[in-house]
Amino acid sequence: MIKFLIRTGVFLLAAAVGIIVTSWIFSGFDLEGFDLMWSEPIGFVVAVVVFAAVQAIISPFIARVARRNAPALLGGVGLISTVIALVVAVLVTDGLDIYGVLGWVLGSLLVWLVTMLATLLLPAILIKDAVENKRDDD
């Protein structure tokens, strides 16, 4: 149960990092199409939770369908589930707006890439911090 909660926390944090970094990249390069509603902090939290939940639910389904019907798509399961999760998050929350071809294509690609990297790196960072804190306590 504890592993499940830790994995869920890491996945939620990775989703938040992916969405935030993508928003920063878009604003840093003065691109339009991917906006976080910073005036709606609850909307942002709900958007992250919806995004992470939809992606966690839909990824195994898409992987199963791809494995059976189109094995060449297996590598794109994460990207496909990211696009679907972003569509749902945009439709049901007020915390995230994506519009235009650039927003949907580049935004989805960046969220997928940053979320994937954060999912890989966050556990190592968190474990390192926990070990250092434990050493400091001793």
Which tokens hold the place of 130?
Answer: 């926990």
pLDDT tens for each residue of 76-88? 899 999 999 999 9
Per DSSP, 31 falls in state -
Region of 78 (left: φ > 0; alpha: ψ -120 to 50; beta: rest) is: alpha
How many CB atoms are located within 10 Å of the residue 62 CB? Answer: 19
Could you report the per-residue pLDDT of 12-51, keeping only the tens digit for each?
999 999 999 999 999 988 888 999 988 888 999 999 999 9
Q: Which residue has the tokens 């369908």?
A: 65
Question: Side chain identity at 94, as an amino acid letter?
Answer: D
In contact, 79 and 109? CB cutoff 8 Å: yes
Least trusted range by pLDDT, from 11-15, 50-54, 65-69, 126-130: 126-130
Structure tokens that stand for 21 in this block: 């970094």
* pLDDT (tens digit per residue) in 66-76: 889 888 888 88
Please list, in sequence order, all residues whose beta carbon lies within 8 angstroms of the beta carbon of residue 107, skipping any fewer than 6 positions away.
22, 26, 33, 34, 86, 98
